[in-house]
Structure 1
Amino acid sequence: MAAAPPTSPAKPAHQVVTWGASADRQGEAPRDRSYRMVVRTSAGGTGTRVHLSNAFGDQPVTFDSVYAGKRREGAQLVPGSNRPLTFGGGGSVTVAPGDSVFSDPLSGRLTAQSDLVVSFHVLSAGGPSTGHGMAMQTSYATAGNHSAEEGAESWTDRTGSWYYLDAVSVEKDRRTSAVVALGDSITDGWQSSSDTNRRWPDYLSRRLQSATGSGIKGVANEGISGNKVLEDGAGVSALNRLDRDVLSQPGVSTVFLFEGINDIKSHSGVSVEEMVAGYREIIARSHAVGTCVVGATVLPFKGWSEFDPESEAVRQGVNAFIRTSGELDGVADFDKMLRSPYDQERLLPFFDGGDHLHPNDKGMQALADAVDLRSLECDR
């Protein structure tokens, strides 16, 4: 009898991030509490994995029951959709301080542009918790372990934050990749309508799902309100969180850099040269791992309380670098798209969310529409 031909080892699954939110330090971490986190997918796929983070904790966190299901409405799930997740084959996992963990892949298909609900019970915790403060999405919490329940009755506490969950990925073919938006409150979605997925990365995601010529289908929103490029403060700076929040995301092929207004308007004396040096470091570190970088110009903010001619001069210098340096793989001119033709230091009132800094829903959509989808893909 002839020997059977040797079998080729199975290729590892190609994971692509379908949702993400930057981890940050939150309040005291209670024990014996369940969380029901509602997130919006971008790319659809199989083999769903969730990523739980204890990046800012100083004590171990034990998750003894983690489920993923499809939302029907509010905290209620589609009957039969809530299924347990495992970690290394076990139903519970303890995450050390500063660490994080991916679940095992879940069988079945996760639909693009759908509400995924990840429910988990925190058996033991303490010290600061890890999460994302400004979700612009209602999620739920409750005392005790109710993660396996599909009904909404036990989920009495509402929250506008995400806790512990900071990414979800799916298996896709190797031609599919993701773009990760690195930004501040504008990317985080402030002044967009809550519970409607009208942040500009959401609009970009919808464009990408319907685009036949693009292999980029995953979108992760890694914006933090108040975040800066150069200095820690409202969240770890863009430079210091680039690896964790952006370059480590599964399947990322493109970094979308839209950040700098908080450095510029803070009256810290930051110069154009310092901002450009920060951008160049992000570009160099991203290129070093084969990732494209698209940069967006900084929006006008005249009318905001911190506006002054000195800050405006820095903004103009930064935007000149973004537009003309040639060091980025692509440019999205957000400034040109949203500024007033009558006073180019101001947002056009039609796009102004009311504070002269953050765009409204129409402005968020205009930002996404200003992105040339072809610019998101480069030869690296």
Structure 2
Amino acid sequence: MTGGLARAGGRLAALLMVGAVCQTGSAGATGTGPDPTVPAREAAVQAASARPDIVTWGAAADRMGDGTPDRGYRLVVHTSAAGTGLRVRVSNAFGDRTLTLDSVYAGIQRVGAALEPGSNRRLTFDGAGTVTVPAGATAWSDPLPGALAAGSNLVVSLHSPDAAGPATGHGMAMQTSYVTQGDHTAEESAANWTGTIGSWWYLDSVSVRPKNRNTGAVAALGDSITDGWASTSDQNRRWPDYLARRLQKADTEVKGVADEGISGNQVLTDGAGQAALNRLDRDVLTQPGVRTVFLFEGINDIKAHTGVTAADLIAGYQEIVRRAHAAGKCVVASTVGPFEGWPEWDRAGDAVRRQVNQYIRTSGEFDGIADFDRILRSPYDQARLLPFLDSGDHLHPNDKGMQAMADSVDLASLDCDH
């Protein structure tokens, strides 16, 4: 973190230190024993009901490798919306046994694995410093007093004494995080955090309580393009990141953005992660404060050469719309971008893509439309990416393409009620 981000981190560390005054006592330090702040915490939770939490960061959950006992993870995530009362959701969605986390901290990145002095504070779960998450379940932390700024590099450090079996996380983070053996979660120094990883483990959501009770969020349901593949790592240049920066400056009540893309993901079929239809509830509809689902997925169904037709994909989209509407969410959909030049491209698949795009543009079944195909395609060959926006593999946009996509979104379409 350099320049403006470093200054923002310093200001946020000071704000978090103010909140730390509210967490004195043995339970605030260790998570064990009587906690004199419990009545105050319960009162704060009741008062917060008038200002619902919204997601400020999210990543789709997927099955990882086996967990490693006595391993610590220092996970760097980039927030979207500002607010107070930070909470994190830890996930054991793909575990086959209980997951115990005996130490979870949240702080602000200074540089690398080092944290801003005074910013690292322990998170509790129902007042305890340890949480046990059943197989297939998730758990939210208690709210952490203090303010969290928009566009912060938040660092969640967690440790499991006995992790084993399939772990839950997000494989392609496009972000460097850190690992260690032993419990060093309370340390702000980087000295013991010498290992690096490119994935997020056991963490799938961060929420805050915004100042304006009407503030909402958008969740982007997608594949590798939404996940940020081919964007610059550690620079937050996925298209949802660019969208989040636009939203912070705009006169809109939508401020939170959750990136729920999985590389290789399909709408209809499990494979690279559960299919969009099968993960919709967990990854999107249960994210706090989500007002709008942004649907940008289908290219992997088309290029898999499994005989998927436009009618098949349209039926999948209609199911997503039906379930999102039933949950009170709006759905904004984007057209599927061009991919001629990618090894799996063929004319039959491109014909399906064009039929799907025609449906998205004209059906009237969505609450809003974004036309990423029009933004990304070459005017000289509409089956190909514009070279200026092409990462070089003819499927994934580069940083400029990611920004062009985000810049094309009608922000008013995200701020809707259903």
Normalising by structure 1, we get a TM-score of 0.97
> How far, CA to CA, are the matches of 1:34 and 1:59 in structure 2?
19
On the 8 A contact 1:59/1:125 being kept in 2, the answer is no
On the 8 A contact 2:158/2:185 being kept in 1, the answer is yes
Aligned residues: 372
Residue 69 of structure 1 corresponds to which residue in structure 2?
A: 107
**Of 115, 118, 124, the match for 2:153:** 115
| CA distances 1:111-135 after superposition (whole Å, capped 9, x unpaired) | 1001000001111221111110000
Residue 226 of structure 2 corresponds to which residue in structure 1?
A: 187
Letter in 2 for 1:88: D
Residue 253 of structure 1 corresponds to which residue in structure 2?
A: 291
> How far, CA to CA, are the matches of 2:161 and 2:93 in structure 1?
18
**Of 218, 231, 234, the match for 2:272:** 234
Q: Name structure 1 gaps, 5 residues minimum.
A: 1-8
Residue 200 of structure 1 corresponds to which residue in structure 2?
A: 239
On the 8 A contact 2:291/2:417 being kept in 1, the answer is no
Question: Does residue 298 of structure 1 match 2:336?
Answer: yes
> How far, CA to CA, are the matches of 1:10 and 1:48 in structure 2?
15
On the 8 A contact 1:36/1:147 being kept in 2, the answer is yes
> How far, CA to CA, are the matches of 2:378 and 2:106 in structure 1?
45
Residue 22 of structure 1 corresponds to which residue in structure 2?
A: 60
SS at match of 1:42: coil
SS at match of 1:140: strand
SS at match of 1:219: strand
On the 8 A contact 2:48/2:209 being kept in 1, the answer is no
Residue 155 of structure 1 corresponds to which residue in structure 2?
A: 193
Q: Name structure 2 gaps, 5 residues minimum.
A: 1-45
> How far, CA to CA, are the matches of 1:50 and 1:26 in structure 2?
19
On the 8 A contact 2:95/2:168 being kept in 1, the answer is yes
Question: Does residue 328 of structure 1 match 2:384?
Answer: no
Q: CA deviation at 1:181?
A: 0.1
> How far, CA to CA, are the matches of 1:253 and 1:79 in structure 2?
36
Q: CA deviation at 1:379?
A: 3.2
Q: CA deviation at 1:83?
A: 0.3
Letter in 1 for 2:160: V
> How far, CA to CA, are the matches of 2:376 and 2:414 in structure 1?
21
On the 8 A contact 1:132/1:163 being kept in 2, the answer is yes
Letter in 1 for 2:170: H
Normalising by structure 2, we get a TM-score of 0.88
Q: Which stretch shifts more, 11-20 or 142-151? A: 11-20
On the 8 A contact 2:89/2:206 being kept in 1, the answer is yes
Letter in 2 for 1:309: R
Runs of 4+ in structure 1 over 4 Å off: none
Residue 345 of structure 1 corresponds to which residue in structure 2?
A: 383
| CA distances 1:53-93 after superposition (whole Å, capped 9, x unpaired) | 00001111111011000110100000000000000000011
Letter in 2 for 1:183: G
> How far, CA to CA, are the matches of 1:174 and 1:308 in structure 2?
49
Letter in 2 for 1:68: A
**Of 308, 318, 321, the match for 1:283:** 321
> How far, CA to CA, are the matches of 2:335 and 2:52 in structure 1?
32
Superposition CA RMSD, Å: 1.0
Letter in 1 for 2:68: P
SS at match of 1:135: coil
Residue 92 of structure 1 corresponds to which residue in structure 2?
A: 130
> How far, CA to CA, are the matches of 2:59 and 2:110 in structure 1?
22
Residue 76 of structure 2 corresponds to which residue in structure 1?
A: 38
> How far, CA to CA, are the matches of 1:46 and 1:373 in structure 2?
24
Residue 3 of structure 1 corresponds to which residue in structure 2?
A: none
SS at match of 2:308: coil
> How far, CA to CA, are the matches of 1:26 and 1:379 in structure 2?
36
Mapping for residues 209-220 of structure 1, pairs under 5 Å? 209-212=248-251, 214-220=252-258
| CA distances 1:25-49 after superposition (whole Å, capped 9, x unpaired) | 0001011110000000000100000
> How far, CA to CA, are the matches of 2:101 and 2:179 in structure 1?
14
Q: CA deviation at 1:174?
A: 2.0
On the 8 A contact 1:198/1:361 being kept in 2, the answer is yes
**Of 301, 305, 321, the match for 1:263:** 301
Structure 2 vs 1, CA of residues 113 and 10 (structure 1 numbering), >3 Å: closer, same or farther? closer
| CA distances 1:237-264 after superposition (whole Å, capped 9, x unpaired) | 0000000000000000000000000000
> How far, CA to CA, are the matches of 1:26 and 1:274 in structure 2?
29
Residue 356 of structure 2 corresponds to which residue in structure 1?
A: 318
Q: CA deviation at 1:10?
A: 4.0
Q: CA deviation at 1:377?
A: 2.0
SS at match of 1:364: helix
SS at match of 1:124: coil
